[in-house]
Amino acid sequence: MRVEPVPGVPAATVDAGGERLLALADYHAGIEAGLQYEGVELRSAASERRERLLSALERTGADRLVVVGDLGHAIGSPFASEREELEALFSTLSVPVTLVKGNHDGELETVLEELDAGVTVAPSHGTTIGDVGFAHGHTWPAPAVLESAVVCVGHEHPVVRLEDKVGGTRKERVWLRGALAGGPFEDHYDRPLDADGDLVVFPAFNDRSGGTWVNVAGQDFLAPFLPAGLADAEAFLLDGTRLGRYRDV
């Protein structure tokens, strides 16, 4: 497959455009500062996030890192701790980076320029690398992105609630994957689209960023094109376990 999840890691390898990419979504650098404003005190896990990312890059031998939105956490001007986390991250990265802007990346370009990070920034409606499209997911992907063989989005932070035989429950991050349903996108753009590829919804790389419960009644999706734009989607745990149709989990 063009998009292959890395077992045990909320990231995937993507072979596209003559490169091996490591793609991930929703890194949310500096999230602890944002949570503090909400009254939640947590020690920073910046070093753990960085080491997990660096380990995945080394493990996969990727040529480029693609962040499918929300590299940072602050929607406006980045927190001081967010700047520090990004500075530490980019001082250790040895591969080029492409960032597809997410709804939390509004003012991040200035910081990246100050860090001289050499990041290629794509607009929030997405970009293509080879025959794979990338868009964050908080807005409608561009037609050129939708007409890719595989479309990768983040933003949703999909999670499932699993229950054991004695009634205990736990939350697990999941991948969602299925055929892209072109109808909603054609309706949105009011024109035909050659959109018949797959759609992959990435789990959040940051394990503190919450998520959409995709198998709990009454929960709404965040992306304006979900769930209508994703036909017969299946859910997969980070370890690769196939759960089947997400609605039936």
Q: What is the mean pLDDT of residues 184-205?
A: 96
Give 4's contacts (C-beta < 8 A, 6+ positions apart): 12, 13, 14
Mean pLDDT of all residues in the chain? 91
Per-residue pLDDT reduced to its tens digit, 111-130: 888 888 889 999 999 999 99
The residue range of the domain holding 35 is 3-248
Min mean pLDDT across 25-29, 43-47, 130-134, 205-209 is at 43-47
Give 62's contacts (C-beta < 8 A, 6+ positions apart): 13, 20, 21, 22, 56, 95
Min mean pLDDT across 32-41, 201-210, 212-221 is at 32-41
Rg (CA), the chain: 17
- Please tell me whether residue 203 adopts helix, strand or coil conformation: coil
pTM assigned to the model: 0.94
Parallel, antiparallel or unpaired: strands 127-129 and 132-135: antiparallel
Q: How many CA atoms lie less than 13 Å away from 36 in the CB half-sphere?
A: 12
Per-residue pLDDT reduced to its tens digit, 26-42: 999 988 877 776 777 77
Give the total number of structural domains in the chain: 1
Instruction: Report the CATH number that the domain containing residue 58 is assigned in CATH.
Output: 3.60.21
pLDDT at 1: 62
The neighbouring-strand residues paired with 83 are none
pLDDT at 168: 76
The neighbouring-strand residues paired with 20 are 15
Distance CA 105, CA 84 (A): 16
pLDDT band at 194 (very low <50, low <70, confident <90, very high): very high
pLDDT at 241: 93
